[in-house]
Structure 1
Amino acid sequence: MLTVFTLLMLLIIKEGSGNSDRSVTFENPNPCALKGKSVEFRCSYSYREGETVRKTTWYRGKLNGTIWTRVALSDFPSYESRSEYLGDWQHNCSLAIHDLQVNDTGYYYFRFDTDTYGFRSKKSVYLSVTELNVRVCPERVRVGENVTLECKTSCHQLSNTAWFKDGRPISKTMFRAQAEDSGNYVCAIRGRESEQSDSVALDVQYGPLNMSIEVSKLGHLSNSTSVNLTCRATANPAAINYTWYKTTGSSSSSMVHVGSGQVLSLTSVVRPGLYLCQARNSVGENNLTQTVLIADHKDINHFILVGIVVKIILALLLTLIIIWIGRRTCYSAEDKKVRRYHVKRTINNSLSQNV
């Protein structure tokens, strides 16, 4: 029994002394890389003089139930076209992995086999694959509120980043929100702008802007014309309340409420007037209401011109009637004078004959 124990101890001592001439060294044991990029495990190994390396293999640690195992990368189909052995069968055991994915995160090991012995690394390389994480704080604001853009990864402190809004570069990462700041934001490491993060949307809410009124009928409007007025407004969220007013005098301060809703239907235009629309959403209302004039000045001038022409014609007719009456009066007086003359002459002739 003592002899067997002594032999086992001698074998263990011999194996330990032999392994002291064999080693694997990782220069960057905890690399961190961005998704989609490449990473290199810088690695070197040594072995006993006189041995010849016959095989090199990279493994990945895998938990199989409760048992930790090492599986050769060649057994993973996903690594077939993405892993590249950069080393040799001398002392370089470096490995590159391309087009990194988040699930590539994990432990990696190296093993080499000589013509007399197989040695695998006791330590490992732990790879962290991360993505650019973009944050817009807060993601929903009102006009005038502060916005901060953040770009980071789980293992890098990023100080030199580039930002884009809807594909266009921007320079500020802290600003007071305006309506035009709504959009999708992405970040990238400067110098590698083509490798961008996922986008995050900024929603800037604001009250109604850019008010306008559309008229359904263009051209001359008369008293019997039917017209629809449509109120347009740019707002976020969309305007949900519209109120219509009409001026009652020369001043826009003299207004009466004439309707509600985005469309105001006028069955007839009784007289010229200014119509005003006010829009409102959950953020606020438009206090600079736009106006539109419903009545064509050409129609008004047309009616005025017709009235003038009618008055002229009536005046001319009246003048002609007066002249005609005057002439008839003159003709009547002359006829009476002639008749008196003939009567008198007839009487005189009769008297002369009797004498």
Structure 2
Amino acid sequence: MIQVLILLLLQQAEKVSAAWSVTFENPDICALRGSSVEIRCSYSYPDEESVRGTAWDRGMNQNGVWERVRLSGLPSYNGRFEYQGDHAHNCSLVLRDLQENDTGYYYFWFDTDKFGRRSKTSVFLSVTGLRATVRPDRVRLGDSVTLDCQTECQNGKIIWFRDGRPVAEPTFQAQTTDTGNYSCAFEGLKSSQSDPVALDVWYPPLNVSVEVNRSDPLLVGSSVTLTCRGSASPAAITYTWWYSSDVSNSSTELQVGSGQVLSISSVELAHTGTYICQAQNRAGQSRSAELLLAVEETVHPLIVLGIGIKVIILLVLPPILIWVWKCRSRPHATNEENTSNDYENGIFG
């Protein structure tokens, strides 16, 4: 008889337990930092009961004691959670703008006319970020580059961005234009992308050229400045200047300076020749094309004045002589004409 009574009591306890329950659709959830998550939940109770209130709690260790703390009482959740359920059987919860410190255990509680019930089990929410990496650590022009996105959550297809613009493929041959900041995200969740990782493509100096500030002609005694230009990553650390007086023979080159700028304060005829700039960084070195400097002798001002006077005389004197000659010739021609007329009148008068 006692055994029958115990069996009946156990059956009754099972019925009561089935009548009061909380069920989580997914008790182990992984979500990305910055994203939103819905914790789907349902609960049940005896038909004769009515639900008066619901709430969500978070399990927290306070002073060495594990406690359930209402989300509504935690300032860090203000404006970030929303109860999606009702006072019937739906107890779903939405958490927005997730942070990594939101990782933890979550419980549901509801109150009826007679009892207050809380879930025996919980949902464990793991909030994680994405971590972008670039391989290899040091990339030179032409190297094969692989972008890797690491995460504890597997929520879909990974997409990549460089300085906010989409990247077609996570593996490519490094070009100078690939330098930038890369971040990854799951497709459709751009707002939860990873922190950026920098890619700096190293390449030797490119498009090295020489700029010269001078006025033509370049005269003896004047000054001239040569500046070496070019792009490089990392920046060029040394500049070397080479000079050759023999334009047709580069083997006669002499090193004449260092630094990005070569200045000659007072040029001489001996400075005539070709100049080359060589730029070097940790990735290599490159040379500019040859620049020809032609130095001319200075012409004395008195010589210039004498030449000018001669030119003026040669241009002005001939017209003056012609004009004088014409002026002297006109009266003589008139007298001859008058005499001729008088002679004719004498014969035929």
Residue 335 of structure 2: aligned partner: none
TM-score (normalised: structure 1)? 0.75
Residue 208 of structure 2: aligned partner: 211
Moved more, 267-276 or 55-64: 267-276
| Contact 2:32–2:192 (8 Å) recurs in 1 | no
Instruction: Work out the percentage of aligned pairs sharing the same amino acid.
Output: 52
- Partner Cα separation in structure 2 for residue 110 and residue 259 of structure 1: 79
SS of the equivalent of 1:20 reads: helix
Deviation at 1:117, TM superposition (A): 1.6
Deviation digits for residues 255-295 of structure 1, max 9, x if unmatched? 22212222212133323321111111222211x43222223
- Partner Cα separation in structure 1 for residue 188 and residue 83 of structure 2: 28
Deviation at 1:157, TM superposition (A): 5.8
Deviation digits for residues 55-102 of structure 1, max 9, x if unmatched? 211100001132211111111122231111111111111111112111
One-letter code aligned to 2:23: T
| Contact 2:232–2:281 (8 Å) recurs in 1 | yes
One-letter code aligned to 1:281: N
Change (3 A) 1:189 1:209: same
TM-score (normalised: structure 2)? 0.76
Deviation at 1:122, TM superposition (A): 0.9
Residue 292 of structure 1: aligned partner: 291
Moved more, 140-149 or 119-128: 140-149
Deviation at 1:15, TM superposition (A): 6.4
| Contact 2:35–2:191 (8 Å) recurs in 1 | no
Matches within 5 A, 1:62-101: 62-101=60-99
Counterpart selection for 1:104 from 78, 102, 105: 102
| Contact 1:269–1:294 (8 Å) recurs in 2 | no
| Contact 1:269–1:295 (8 Å) recurs in 2 | no
Matches within 5 A, 1:59-208: 59-156=57-154, 158=156, 160-208=157-205
Once superposed, what is the RMSD of the aligned Cα atoms? 2.9
SS of the equivalent of 1:285 reads: strand
SS of the equivalent of 2:148 reads: strand
For structure 1, the residue ranges without an aligned partner over 5 or more in a row are 1-9, 315-355
Residue 3 of structure 1: aligned partner: none
| Contact 2:38–2:92 (8 Å) recurs in 1 | yes
- Partner Cα separation in structure 2 for residue 169 and residue 23 of structure 1: 48
Moved more, 146-155 or 184-193: 184-193
For structure 2, the residue ranges without an aligned partner over 5 or more in a row are 1-7, 311-349
The count of corresponding residues between Structure 1 and Structure 2 is 297
Deviation at 1:53, TM superposition (A): 1.1
Residue 350 of structure 1: aligned partner: none
One-letter code aligned to 2:290: T
Counterpart selection for 2:238 from 234, 241, 246: 241
- Partner Cα separation in structure 1 for residue 166 and residue 215 of structure 2: 44
| Contact 1:181–1:204 (8 Å) recurs in 2 | yes
The structure number with the bigger radius of gyration is 1
Deviation digits for residues 94-122 of structure 1, max 9, x if unmatched? 11111211111110001111111222111
- Partner Cα separation in structure 2 for residue 34 and residue 157 of structure 1: 9
One-letter code aligned to 1:231: C
SS of the equivalent of 2:19 reads: coil
- Partner Cα separation in structure 2 for residue 36 and residue 262 of structure 1: 48
- Partner Cα separation in structure 2 for residue 73 and residue 97 of structure 1: 10
| Contact 2:146–2:172 (8 Å) recurs in 1 | yes
Residue 265 of structure 1: aligned partner: 263
| Contact 2:219–2:298 (8 Å) recurs in 1 | no
SS of the equivalent of 1:78 reads: helix
- Partner Cα separation in structure 2 for residue 239 and residue 156 of structure 1: 44
| Contact 1:248–1:256 (8 Å) recurs in 2 | no
- Partner Cα separation in structure 1 for residue 165 and residue 298 of structure 2: 55
